[in-house]
Structure 1
């Protein structure tokens, strides 16, 4: 009888322990399920953020109208003149060296000579801006410039203050079909410039790019 009671007691203890273990395991499973749900929500949120960032990057790229790798496929340059001089000091038929580069994709522009050499055949666009102001009591400000391609004039600009105490600017634009190694630059015309050729707050600039 004592042995039977002992067996019964042992069985009850084992059943109690087993039940307690099952309850603990069930609680643990519930906790793990909740953590998995939280992780799933975080992953979903991160995926949405990645998609939004990807869409934004693509939008910015399209707005800039740039290819994925502009350094290898785009030809474009923009430079400006960093100093000023008097018109007579520069003289006539003198090439303007725009010595400060803003952009030079394709490395077609040379800051030492002021010339652009076409890296390949294509249709190119060029624009340049000049600025002049009067020379005090001595003369009004006046300057003529030319866009020269392979020694031939393909565009010209004229700026004239008409008084000794005024300023004036002018901008030109030319589209031209070029062959590889064609040379383009800006120069003064055969008229001697007057006054001061100003390039500070208002800059002399020279830019160009390959259209197709």
Structure 2
């Protein structure tokens, strides 16, 4: 249609300027051929343009899908960055708490080392005093022998016999004999007085020894716990009994996750299975055991766990969001020789403190069967 319109226009122009029909025909043919060439070129360019548009549309769709994928990846990376930042904050807070705990532990170790040095020096002094007080049995034997001798002398010189002897001596004996008897009685009196002095010395030495033993027990907790254990075993007279009861005597102002609670004050430790140094009960006799623990916390709350050989066998909840409260639990478990049991801190918010100065945080257990 475009070609026909172009030919009509050319013919009109030729007629206007007075050209002949043959010239017009030739001219029209040339124009037509040039128009065909130009139309072909235009159609080719049009097709190329359409193909280019299709390719651009495909590229645009690909780019849009790639943009969507990148946006999703960006969201994932943003979420991951947020999680990492949160974890970093948690780790920084934990590192800060660990540094504080480390400083407290270092101070405590320093104080314990000083106390240990003082206790060792004190123990050496007390051992020397105890060695010097080992003469007590010899003095006691000497006192017994002197007492027997005194009783024999008193029997010999009974007052009635002395009166009768004095009457007979006054009537029959000379003044020299009376003087000898009087000297003998004075000697007996002096000997009895010396015996009383020896007895008083023995009593004072025994008192010093008892006080020295008590001070030694107070200065050395491990030795005190051992002596308590020995006394309880001697009093009970039952070698198969295993039982303990311990109390926490200090605060934990900064608690850490999975922190083992060291109950350091031992009131009962029959069998010697509990260690106040590690806070761990080690089974020395296989059987069924009953364990109970109570934990007193303040400010917030805390979960505690009873752990057997690294595995949790019991849980307890203590505290609330406002006041201090205590909580605990009782567990019956089977133990083999060498198994270990202890109490540790579980889930808790920051700022929770463990109270240990009122005797409300305890740990106990005994062999049931």
Q: TM-score, normalised by structure 2?
A: 0.35
The aligned residue for residue 295 of structure 2 is 130
- The reply on whether 1:148 has 2:307 as its aligned counterpart is yes
Tell me which structure has the larger Cα radius of gyration: 2
- How far does residue 197 in structure 1 lie from its aligned partner after superposition? 1.2
- How far does residue 132 in structure 1 lie from its aligned partner after superposition? 1.1
The aligned residue for residue 161 of structure 1 is 320
The aligned residue for residue 149 of structure 2 is none
Q: Secondary structure at the match of 1:97?
A: coil
Q: Secondary structure at the match of 1:158?
A: strand
- How far does residue 171 in structure 1 lie from its aligned partner after superposition? 1.7
The aligned residue for residue 85 of structure 1 is 252
The structure carrying a bigger strand percent of its residues is 1
> Is 2:283–2:337's contact at 8 Å kept on the other side of the alignment?
yes
The structure carrying a bigger helix percent of its residues is 2
RMSD value, Cα? 2.0
Counterpart of 2:337 (choices 155, 170, 180) is: 180
The aligned residue for residue 72 of structure 1 is 239
Alpha-carbon distance in 1 for matches of 2:235, 2:358 = 34
> Is 1:146–1:187's contact at 8 Å kept on the other side of the alignment?
yes
Q: Unmatched 5+ residue regions in structure 2?
A: 1-232
Alpha-carbon distance in 1 for matches of 2:251, 2:235 = 38
- How far does residue 200 in structure 1 lie from its aligned partner after superposition? 2.2
Higher relative contact order (CA 8 A, sep 6+): 1
Q: Unmatched 5+ residue regions in structure 1?
A: 1-65, 135-140
Deviations 1:150-209 (A, max 9, x none): 11100011113221xx11110210000110111000001154553321122252100000
Q: TM-score, normalised by structure 1?
A: 0.60
The aligned length equals: 137
